[in-house]
């Protein structure tokens, strides 16, 4: 046997660098998983059930270093021992003796840890079986831990220091009702960095936290539970760090920091309606406004931006305690998370937004949003609100697009006060297909006086870079002289047709003139593209107020 150092009670030298975790590695020693590929594949194929000694002997054929020996034992256990659900419910039917675990192929944590310890001992590696509290199956956010420990795991001695691992959790998962075990290998619990392991494992003997300073049980109870997915997806920190959040004046905030571009979603009481989530370059920020008092479950989900699958993994769970409701922050049903521009919308070709924040406030019901557009992008925008019966057509007519070079301006005139969703869609001009949804803003207007008519209706001959300077309102007063000023190019003649027809004259790139609205219900702007043709195209249509 190797020269065995004393237990960690006296081993001050082997603790890890002080909490907090320096975020550089998820493991407590450098591990190159690619170098394990051959060994892992070999260990999975070993099929020895008659004795633990024989099994270890077979596994060690391909393992040279102590680290490789531990890896082979770990891999074998994680893929061959299943969690014994029947035994968990009926302890009298259960043996956790290593030979019984090996021969039945199932056990509970105690048996996993015992088999691991014995296999290491046969392989000449020092290993300890540890017990303590865990935030695993059946854990309720904010609960306290009392009585006997509920979980077992191991520490192994490699390269002159102790390392932690949990083969029960490495092997797979049980469902919420604890009726079914599913093998699902989890690399996270192999030599986990102690600062991360403490997140859901609290050993009976605090020396086995392998941390300086150690955490108290109270810290452990209050601290946020990060799912292993949290770290596996490259997420770094979450705020707040406590699992139970109190709202202040009806709202609370959560933020996550991460290494690389990550997409997030959330559910508060199972829906994403009562929050505003914004994506940041390195994470996300979420403001929630629960619309009922009481305790609500908040879940945060994430996936890498490169992932092709639609699957978001749950990375955090909080309990939100809400004492009062902020009714003003009731969001329209059409609001889609995340809200506002981000690295994601930049990738879709919307650059340098005039409004980087998710909410646009307007006092008089008018606002204007500008972007620099990527090449070859065609934009569609529409306005949605819970309390207006806007038709599909009118949703678009309250927004006017103005293009100047690669700049686009969306001029918005709200039909009434309230909260609106500005939805922005895009497609490649060269694509014949449909527009794809890209993102949305929340537009808020509290001024009940605000009431704007729609912009005039435009037809297909109205080119993208034409511009209306006046009249902007699609509804003209009756019996008035109306001043027209339009920016158009490449045409020979412009007429405004009311009861009579009025030509506009061109000066310095603008077509200008007046028309009288008496005796008509509609006014059309028409253009002659070519002086030699007698054919006119309609480009704009205005309504006239009834008397």
Residue 316 burial class via C-beta count within 10 angstroms: exposed 0-12, middle 13-18, buried 19 and up? buried
Q: Using an 8 Å Cβ cutoff, are 125 and 70 in contact?
A: yes
Sign of CA dihedral 59, 6, 220, 109: positive
**40, 66, 84, 166: the active-site residue:** 166
* Separation in Å, CA 177 to CA 85, 137, 392: 10, 9, 46
Distance (Å, whole) CA 461 – CA 36: 65
Distance (Å, whole) CA 281 – CA 283: 6
Question: 274 catalytic, yes or no?
Answer: no
Distance (Å, whole) CA 223 – CA 215: 10
Cβ within 8 Å of residue 37, ≥6 positions away:
none
Helix (H, G, I), strand (E, B), or coil: what is residue 456?
coil
Torsions phi, psi for 521 (to 5 deg): -105, -20
Q: 527 forms bridges with which residues in the sheet?
A: 494, 537
Helix (H, G, I), strand (E, B), or coil: what is residue 429?
coil
The conformation of residue 75, written as its DSSP 8-state character, comes to H
Q: How far is CA 459 from the centre of its chain?
A: 40
Distance (Å, whole) CA 131 – CA 404: 68
**151, 226, 296, 384: the active-site residue:** 151
Angle of CA points 13, 236, 18, to nearest 5°? 15
Please give the torsion angle defined by the CA atoms of residues 206, 212, 216 and 222, in that order, rounded to the nearest 10 degrees. Answer: -130
Terminal-residue alpha carbon distance, the chain = 104
Length of the chain: 547
Q: Which tokens in the block code for residue 15?
A: 């603790």
Q: Which tokens in the block code for residue 438?
A: 């890209």
**78, 109, 120, 322: the active-site residue:** 109
Closest CA to 397 of 457, 350, 353, 439: 457
Question: 376 catalytic, yes or no?
Answer: no
Question: 364 catalytic, yes or no?
Answer: no
Residues taking part in catalysis = 109, 151, 166
């Amino acid at each position: 046997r190797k020269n065995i150092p004393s237990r960690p009670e006296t081993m001050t030298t082997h603790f890890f660098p002080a909490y907090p975790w320096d975020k550089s590695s998820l493991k407590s020693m450098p591990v190159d998983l690619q170098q394990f590929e051959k060994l892992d594949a070999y260990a999975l194929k070993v099929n020895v059930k008659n004795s633990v000694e024989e099994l270890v002997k077979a596994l060690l054929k391909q393992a040279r270093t102590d680290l490789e020996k531990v890896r082979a034992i770990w891999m074998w256990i994680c893929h061959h021992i299943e969690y014994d659900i029947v035994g968990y419910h009926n302890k009298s039917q259960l043996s956790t003796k290593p030979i019984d675990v090996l021969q039945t192929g199932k056990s509970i944590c105690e048996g996993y840890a015992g088999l691991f310890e014995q296999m290491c001992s046969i392989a000449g590696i020092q290993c300890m079986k540890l017990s303590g509290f865990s935030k695993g199956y059946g854990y309720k956010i904010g609960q306290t831990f009392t009585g006997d420990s509920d979980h077992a795991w191991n520490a192994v001695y490699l390269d002159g220091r102790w390392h932690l691992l949990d083969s029960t959790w490495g092997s797979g998962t049980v469902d919420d009702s604890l009726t079914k075990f599913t093998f699902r290998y989890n690399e996270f619990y192999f030599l986990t960095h102690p600062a991360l392991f403490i997140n859901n494992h609290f050993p009976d003997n605090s020396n086995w936290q392998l941390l300086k300073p150690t955490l108290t049980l109270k810290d452990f109870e209050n601290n946020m539970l990060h799912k292993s997915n949290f770290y596996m997806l490259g997420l770094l920190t979450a705020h707040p760090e406590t699992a139970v959040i109190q709202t202040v004046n009806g709202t609370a905030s959560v933020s996550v920091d991460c290494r690389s571009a990550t997409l997030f979603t959330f559910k508060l009481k199972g829906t994403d309606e009562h929050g505003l989530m914004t994506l940041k370059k390195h994470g996300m920020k979420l403001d929630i406004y629960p619309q009922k008092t009481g305790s609500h479950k908040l879940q945060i989900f994430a996936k890498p931006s490169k992932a092709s699958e639609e699957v978001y993994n749950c990375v955090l769970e909080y309990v939100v305690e809400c004492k009062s409701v902020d009714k003003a922050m009731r969001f329209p049903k059409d609001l889609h998370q995340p809200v506002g521009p981000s690295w994601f919308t930049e990738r879709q070709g919307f650059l340098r937004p005039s409004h980087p924040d998710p909410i646009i406030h307007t006092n008089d019901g008018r606002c204007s949003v500008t972007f620099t557009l990527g090449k070859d992008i065609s934009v569609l925008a529409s306005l949605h609100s819970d309390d207006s019966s806007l038709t599909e057509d009118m949703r678009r007519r309250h927004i006017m697009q103005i293009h100047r070079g690669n700049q686009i301006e969306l001029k918005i005139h709200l039909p009434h006060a309230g909260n609106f969703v500005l939805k922005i869609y895009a497609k490649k001009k060269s694509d014949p297909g449909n527009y794809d949804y890209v993102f949305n803003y929340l537009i808020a207007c509290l001024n009940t006086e605000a009431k704007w008519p729609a912009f005039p209706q435009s037809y297909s001959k109205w080119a993208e870079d034409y511009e209306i300077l006046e009249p902007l309102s699609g509804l003209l007063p009756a019996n008035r002289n109306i001043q027209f000023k339009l920016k158009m190019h490449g045409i020979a003649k412009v007429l405004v047709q009311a009861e009579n027809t009025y030509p506009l004259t061109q000066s310095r790139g603008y077509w200008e003139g007046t028309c009288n609205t008496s005796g008509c219900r509609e006014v059309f702007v028409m253009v002659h593209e070519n002086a030699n043709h007698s054919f006119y195209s309609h480009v704009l249509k205005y309504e006239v107020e009834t008397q």
